[in-house]
Amino acid sequence: MVSVTPRSSFVSIWFVLDAVLALFPPVYWIAGGPTPLIAGIPCSIVYFVVLTAFICGSLIAAYIDDEKRGAFRVSTP
């Protein structure tokens, strides 16, 4: 079995922020006001598109961190 160093605290904090932004309704309610528009698109739609990009970025950062930590190394007998 290959020993793996702990995950970067930066990535862990990013995951927590992902969860807060995705699951905490008041953030969405603030962005979902009836009048604000960004480039003609309702803010709630922009919120979800930006949130999706933010979450995808965190997954890519976690993958890169895992590669650097050696999580994908296979030990040979």
Q: Where exactly are the structural domains of the chain?
A: 14-69
What would the pLDDT profile of 29-65 be if each residue is shown by its tens digit? 776 666 667 788 877 788 889 899 999 999 999 999 9
Long-range contacts of range 10-18, CB-CB < 8 Å, 24 or more positions apart?
A: 10/61, 11/58, 11/61, 11/62, 11/65, 14/58, 14/61, 14/62, 15/58, 15/62, 18/54, 18/55, 18/58
- pLDDT at 35 (0 to 100): 67
Q: Using a cut of 0.85, tell me whether the model's pTM lies above it.
A: no
Residue 21 has pLDDT above 90, yes or no: no
